[in-house]
Structure 1
Amino acid sequence: MVLRRLLQTLLNNPRLIEKLSETRPIRRAAQITAYAIARLQLGGLEAADRLSRSSTLRQIREHAEMPRSLGELSKRAAQLKDTFVKEVKEGMKESSGQKK
């Protein structure tokens, strides 16, 4: 109980927080956090851009209406599968090219 009260008093002290924020470890932790957030945002934007250019997504949008027959459904599913497999292979080629 006493330890909790002491910790609460220290953490609510503006001078102490200001002094801690000026220390090297705290500044470095803030830099690393800001860097990680920026990298994640860039990665998310790139993924959204790739998805918007994806022919699989375009194909899903084009064929969003309900098929009239079972044959039409199987034809659409096969087209979607082929497009998806093609894009996965292209993505794997791109990612292996980036690693080298």
Structure 2
Amino acid sequence: MPLRVLLRYLMNNEQLTQKLAESYPVRRAAQLTAYVFHRGKELGEDGVEKLRQSDVVNRVQQEAQQSGQRASKFTSTFKRELQEGFKDINDKIKKDR
């Protein structure tokens, strides 16, 4: 509890805050933080650009279209076979009557 009071006092002391902000360690920490942030952003943008330039996105889209075509072909074949199966069953039922 006394530590909280002391820290609150130090944080609310404008002169102390100003001196700390102007000190070398705090300025250097801010510089390094900004460098790491911007470097990470730059690397991320480069990665996205390389991904766009590579043909990976187009290949994924083509594979998705092909799998969609395979799925629609399967669906149509299944539907046709099911209809033929029901038709055969109806014909057998009619013959038995």
The TM-score, its normalising length taken from structure 1, stands at 0.61
Report the 3-state secondary structure (helix = DSSP H, G, I; strand = E; otherwise coil) of the residue aligned with 2:5.
Answer: helix
Number of aligned pairs? 69
Q: Distance in 2 between matches of 1:46 and 1:64?
A: 26
Matches within 5 A, 1:1-100: 1-65=1-65, 66-68=68-70
Q: Which runs of 5+ in 2 are unaligned?
A: 72-97
Partner of 1:77: none
Higher helix share: 2
Structure 1 residue 67, shift from structure 2 partner: 3.5
Report the 3-state secondary structure (helix = DSSP H, G, I; strand = E; otherwise coil) of the residue aligned with 1:29.
Answer: helix
Paired letter, 2:42? L
Partner of 2:83: none
Structure 1 residue 56, shift from structure 2 partner: 1.7
Report the 3-state secondary structure (helix = DSSP H, G, I; strand = E; otherwise coil) of the residue aligned with 2:31.
Answer: helix
Higher relative contact order (CA 8 A, sep 6+): 1
Q: Percent identity?
A: 39
Partner of 1:92: none
Structure 1 residue 12, shift from structure 2 partner: 2.4
Q: Distance in 2 between matches of 1:53 and 1:14?
A: 51
When structure 1 is superposed on structure 2, of 54-63 and 44-53 the one drifting more is 54-63
Report the 3-state secondary structure (helix = DSSP H, G, I; strand = E; otherwise coil) of the residue aligned with 1:68.
Answer: helix
What is the RMSD computed on CA atoms of the aligned residues? 1.5
Larger Rg: 2
Q: Which runs of 5+ in 1 are unaligned?
A: 70-100
Partner of 1:93: none
Q: Distance in 1 between matches of 2:40 and 2:69?
A: 39
Q: Distance in 1 between matches of 2:4 and 2:11?
A: 11
